[in-house]
Amino acid sequence: MTPFLEKWNPTVKAATVLVCVILLSVQYLVSLNLTVFALCLVLLLAGSRCGLRRLAALLLPAGVAALGLFFMGLYYARGGSVDPAALDTVSALPYAVRAAMSRNLYTAPQLATRLLAYAGLGMMFALSTDTEIFIASLLHQCRLSPKFAYGILAAFHLMPGMVREFNQVRLAFAVRGLHVHPLSLQPIFTMLVNSVRWSECVAMAMESKGFCGDAPRSYCLVPRIHWYDLAAAVAAVGGIVLGMVFLRY
């Protein structure tokens, strides 16, 4: 049985995540950010086939970035703190400058938890959405041109080949006894040249098979929008709105 998050229509899911991100960007509630982040992790583990190890691998860089934002906000809040009464004399300064001069240490957890909430929403979408179904949904729900849709899909499927080519180029340099610095552009240049050749071959293959973005065609995969897709979207957006209304910290 397909888990719920993976059955959720990708277009509706993407629109829901976008609306949630916009709502989170205009609020300053640490508790709401943490709640959204925790719910995203629970939904990923319970409503998708995402493994705990893969989730932990993605949470590590998000946690490091959130920690960095926390200390940055904490440092600047302490370093620029002044007496609130003194702010009356600098009312002509921009709001960003006056906010940085305030003694509100609440900024640090705001920044950190907001980034975690964004990371949770992004992971919930990325780890529970199949690429081909997402492209098919863009074709049928968003009326995306087949030229762009299949071009994106072809580029996505070229990515593993580019990684293999990059490793092969580095191995070829090592066999020849040439030392390649980790930041060297030589392997990347060779990989990009071969990638351009592959893209030309893919384009020629599509044209030789009669591909045309304007002609009517049949589809083997046609995603639909069901009532539970819209219900999940309303529940997600409504939950954040309720949190903005009733939560205080």
At residue 86, does pLDDT exceed 50? no
Chain mean pLDDT for the chain: 82
Tell me the three state secondary structure of residue 103: coil
Query: Are the C-beta atoms of 113 and 34 separated by less than 8 Å?
Result: yes
Distance CA 120, CA 113 (A): 10
Q: Which tens digits make up the pLDDT trace of 128-158?
A: 998 889 988 988 888 888 888 887 888 788 8
The reported pLDDT for the residue numbered 113 is: 93
pLDDT band of 125, cuts 50, 70, 90: very high
Q: What is the pLDDT of residue 77?
A: 55
Q: Any idea where the domains of the chain sit in the sequence?
A: 4-129+224-246, 146-208
Give the model's confidence band at 226: pLDDT under 50 very low, under 70 low, under 90 confident, else very high: very high
What is the C-alpha to C-alpha distance for residues 129 and 17, in angstroms, rounded to an integer?
12
Residue 106 has pLDDT above 80, yes or no: no
CA distance linking residue 191 with residue 45, whole number of Å = 36
Q: How far apart are CA 200 and CA 193, in angstroms?
A: 11
Mean pLDDT of 33-53: 91
**Does the pLDDT of residue 6 top 80, yes or no?**
yes
Q: What is the DSSP string of 200-229?
A: HHHHHHHHHTT--SSS----S------HHH
**Does 175 score more than 70 pLDDT?**
yes
Cβ proximity of 80 and 72 under 8 Å: no
* CA–CA separation, 173 and 162 (whole Å): 17
